[in-house]
Structure 1
Amino acid sequence: MFMKKADRIAIYQVLFHSGVMFAERSPQMMHTDKELKHLTNLQVTKTMKSLKSSGYVTEQTAWRHHYWCLNNEGIEFLRAYLHQPAEAMPITLQRRTVPVRMPRTSDDPRFRDGPRDGKERDDRSTYRRSNPPTGRELDKTGNVGAGSANMEFRGGFGRGKKDY
């Protein structure tokens, strides 16, 4: 497929920067990445297909999307093609300086107030108790609506009926 060199370089730069690329299978749609808004999914797909045939990316397909991941040979190829320094790496291979952790201390507003509405923390265990704190028995199978009566089999059509 004929494509401008500037468009191919734009695809290569986005791929080298992030380490992964995706495209939807609808070829006429414009690509959703903000750096590649001027390109169609067909152009991105065909460029990535040429990289895949050279062994620089691995392809994965799920539903209506293609996903490509840059491998080590592809990193070396794009580094040379885009004239990047040797220490330049895709974001997927860079280590984070600060680890991402979910706060689980009392400073977190989700854990500050304790149980909501004065209820116990484990509402399900209090519901399933046979003797609630009020002291009266609960019949959990009593008034459940349709289907609360005992099951009765009267025969009928279908499997299991034998007429001899």
Structure 2
Amino acid sequence: MNKINVSVRHWCATVLRFVSVASLFFLAGMAFQSNRSSAHSVEAASTHLYELMVYHALPGKASDLESVFKGVSGLQDKHGLRAVGYWIPKSEDPAWQNTFVYLLDHSDRESAEKNWQALHADPLFTPFRQAAIPLIRQKDGEYLVDEVYMSPTSYSASK
């Protein structure tokens, strides 16, 4: 029995030495690394400003709304509203049913607003607006259109 206690004590001492040496190397590595790096914040990587638009169409009218945007897309481009893409979501989630989505790329908020004003002032835009109005859902007299401006992060592929 005494022989077993000696073997167990020897094993425990060996494990303790190993853990102590491993911990020492770990702490030394951490101290070395902390001197080499510093924390940095995530910032926008460019001056690009994206605008996401989500239109909530009346039931069954998303493809009709898509047709309106297919026609107006050239006019948007003429006025500096650069479309990244247009989409009809394919989802079983009721929140995405009857929606039409598109994404614009602006250089900054000021030029975005100027370009939107120019589009809305163009007489060629009026027929497209009139065609879209009866296709978009309303709530309390407001059209259901979600809009958000977004800046890419420093690690985004779209900088």
TM-score, normalized by length of structure 2?
Answer: 0.24
Higher-strand-fraction structure: 2
**Bigger relative contact order (CA 8 A; separation at least 6):** 2
Higher-helix-fraction structure: 2
TM-score, normalized by length of structure 1?
Answer: 0.24
